[in-house]
Amino acid sequence: MSARLACVAVAAEPITDETAGTIALGDLTVRRLGFGAMRITGEGIWGPPPDHDEALRVLRRSVELGINLIDTADSYGPEVSEELIAEALRPYPEGLVIATKGGLTRTGPNQWPRDGRPEHLREACEGSLRRLGLERIDLYQLHAPDPKVPYEESVGALKALQEEGKIRQIGVSNVSVEQLATARGIVDVVSVQNRFNLGDRASAELLAVCQADGLAFIPWFPLSAGKLAASGGAAAEIAARHGVSAAQIALAWLLAQEQMLPIPGTRKVAHLEENVEAARIELGDEEIAELDAAA
* Residues 6 or more apart whose Cβ sits within 8 Å of residue 20: 31, 32, 33, 66, 255, 279
Q: How far is CA 221 from CA 28, 199, 218, in A?
A: 24, 10, 10
Instruction: List the alpha helices (DSSP H) in the chain.
Output: 3-6, 17-20, 52-64, 80-89, 118-132, 151-163, 177-184, 204-213, 234-242, 246-255, 269-277, 285-294
Quick check: is 151 catalytic? no
**Contact between residue 239 and residue 248 where contact means Cβ atoms under 8 Å apart:** yes
Instruction: List the alpha helices (DSSP H) in 42-79.
Output: 52-64
CB count, 10 Å around CB of 103? 28
> Cα–Cα distance between 179 and 181 in angstroms, integer?
5
CB count, 10 Å around CB of 202? 9
Determine which one of 76, 92, 140, 151 is catalytic: 76
Phi-psi region of 45 (alpha: psi -120 to 50; beta: other; left: phi over 0): left
Active site residues per annotation: 76
